[in-house]
């Protein structure tokens, strides 16, 4: 009889061909998807060549998504993209997404049904943990590990212990998944879940839609987490049925599973939250940040560029105009989201308000392009990191917030809530 296990332990055990696993155990697992982007894939491709194999283990299990510096911002980024393009064609990679049919990887793969419940996914990008919202084990790895994964279809893991975050209560107005995860990171710190699986449970989580769940799991890495994960329920089922291309498996934590600890949170007490420079854990309620003026607002990224995020931003911006001192950039996370937003009339709202609407790209999030900051400039962004120099000059500042707060800030010219605009 296997020991009681968490959803993370069950998923890893199944992919290792074992009846049970325990935290700290070293195991070799088969992987369902190996992911890389235009920064990490060229390194992985070079290492793949050094391994000495001719073909990837399964061309349908590799996903290559150039999204960080695309559309190509310069010659170097064009060369990076070409390396991926040539490799994808040579290997017959099924899931290669080029400009015009691409998106930000962590929004694109769930949308396209490439990842699903019960999967084990490794990605050469730290925010691969996003897919835990689908009740999958997903984690970031280095480019060398991705190369080995592409070659042989396996990866080594030390089984992480799990922390259970139990959230109960009804959320206040304008509080979203972004506020929840910023609140959690503020509580435990940027290393508060170091190499542990962050499992989010409770009626508050059960009441969230998939877009908010993706946001929460996306930022597990910002607390040091090995992964973030949310159990399978009817919301998950409604999202994956008819979408996910492979058969999926439902795993669930046993009631008597062992956790490193359980953190109980009264979600009704969570306020709209902003992370001050230069750490995601440097959080304060928006009510304590209203004197912070800004030069730029970015709404988008793998954290908050999905359709619900854009709808919330449009709700705040409708009939209003961006402060003349502020640049507002809106970036839908995928082509499908871009198209849906356009057909819903959201682009009219954004453009009428004075925003610029971009094709899908990670660009400004990592200070790549499409919104780089100069020295002394300050931005509010719906992205996931605000380290020194993250969006440009080391003398710039980034404040992390939800789409609602970001949109209100663009109008007010300072950090604000939508209710402050009335």
Report the chain's terminal Cα–Cα distance, integer Å.
61
Task: Look at residue 217 in the predicted model and tell me its pLDDT.
Answer: 98
CA–CA gap between residue 70 and residue 77 (Å, rounded)? 8
Enclosing H/E stretch for 80? helix 75-91
Cα–Cα distances in Å, from 325 out to 76, 153, 348?
33, 51, 21
Side-chain-side CA neighbours of residue 191 (13 Å): 0
- The Cα 417–Cα 422 span in angstroms is 10
Note the pLDDT of residue 100.
84
HSE (CB half, 13 Å, CA atoms) of 335? 10
Cβ–Cβ under 8 Å, residues 185 and 61: no
Q: Which fold has domain 7-265?
A: Aconitase; domain 3 (3.30.499)
Q: Which residues are CB-neighbours of 288 under 8 A, at least 6 positions away?
A: none
CA distance 350 to 63: 32
pTM for the complete prediction?
0.95
Name the segment(s) of the chain with CATH classification 3.30.499.10.
7-265, 273-415
Cis peptide before 278 (omega within 30 of 0): yes
Rounded CA-CA distance 18/130 in Å is 25
φ, ψ dihedrals at 260, nearest 5°: -60, -35
At 389 the pLDDT is: 93
- Closest C-alpha to 55, from 152, 156, 154, 155: 152
Q: CA-to-CA distance for 305 and 18, rounded, in angstroms?
A: 38
- What pLDDT is recorded for position 102? 85
Question: Right CATH number for 273-415 from 3.20.20.140, 3.30.499.10, 2.60.40.10, 3.30.70.2740?
Answer: 3.30.499.10
Whether a cis peptide bond, with omega within 30° of 0, leads into 71 is yes
Per run of 10 residues, the mean pLDDT along the chain (length 422 residues) is 91 97 97 96 94 94 94 93 96 93 93 96 96 98 95 97 97 97 96 95 97 97 96 96 92 95 97 96 95 96 96 97 97 96 97 96 90 96 94 96 98 96 82
Q: What is the pLDDT of residue 162?
A: 98
């Amino acid at each position: 009889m296997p020991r009681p296990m968490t959803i993370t332990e069950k998923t890893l055990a199944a992919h290792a061909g074992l009846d049970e696993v325990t935290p700290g155990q070293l195991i070799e697992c088969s992987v369902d998807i190996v992911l890389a982007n235009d920064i990490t894939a060229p390194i992985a491709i070079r290492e793949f060549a050094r391994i000495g194999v001719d073909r990837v283990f399964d061309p349908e299990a590799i996903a290559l998504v150039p999204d960080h510096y695309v559309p190509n911002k310069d010659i170097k980024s064009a060369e990076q993209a070409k390396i991926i393009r040539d490799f994808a064609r040579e290997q017959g990679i099924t899931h290669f997404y080029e400009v015009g049919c691409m998106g930000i990887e962590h929004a694109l793969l769930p949308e396209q049904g490439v990842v699903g419940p019960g999967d084990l996914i490794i990605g050469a990008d730290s925010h691969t943990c996003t897919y835990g919202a689908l009740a999958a084990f997903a984690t970031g790895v280095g480019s060398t590990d991705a190369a080995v994964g592409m070659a042989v279809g396996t990866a080594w893991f030390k089984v992480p212990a799990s922390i259970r975050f139990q959230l109960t209560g009804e959320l206040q107005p304008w509080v979203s998944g972004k506020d929840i995860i910023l609140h959690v990171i503020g509580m435990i710190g940027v290393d508060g879940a170091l190499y542990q699986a962050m499992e989010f449970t409770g009626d508050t989580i059960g009441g969230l839609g998939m877009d908010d769940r993706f946001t929460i799991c996306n930022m597990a890495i910002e607390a040091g987490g090995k992964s973030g994960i949310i159990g399978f329920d009817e919301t998950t089922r409604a999202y994956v049925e008819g979408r996910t291309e492979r058969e999926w498996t439902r795993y669930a934590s046993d009631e008597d599973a062992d956790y490193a600890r359980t953190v109980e949170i009264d979600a009704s007490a969570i306020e709209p939250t902003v992370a001050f420079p230069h750490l995601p854990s440097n959080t304060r309620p928006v009510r304590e940040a209203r004197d912070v003026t800004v030069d730029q607002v970015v709404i988008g990224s793998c954290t908050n560029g999905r359709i619900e995020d854009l709808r919330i931003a449009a709700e705040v911006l409708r009939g209003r105009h961006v402060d003349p001192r502020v640049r507002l950039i809106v970036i839908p996370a995928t082509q499908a989201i871009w198209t849906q937003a356009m057909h819903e009339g959201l682009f009219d709202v954004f453009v009428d308000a004075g925003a610029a609407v971009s094709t899908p790209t990670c660009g400004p999030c990592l200070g790549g392009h499409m919104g780089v900051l100069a020295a002394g400039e300050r931005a509010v962004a719906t992205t996931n990191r605000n380290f020194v120099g993250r969006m440009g000059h080391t003398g710039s500042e980034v404040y992390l917030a939800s789409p609602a707060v970001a949109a209100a800030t663009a109008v007010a010219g300072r950090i604000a809530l939508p209710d402050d605009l009335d």
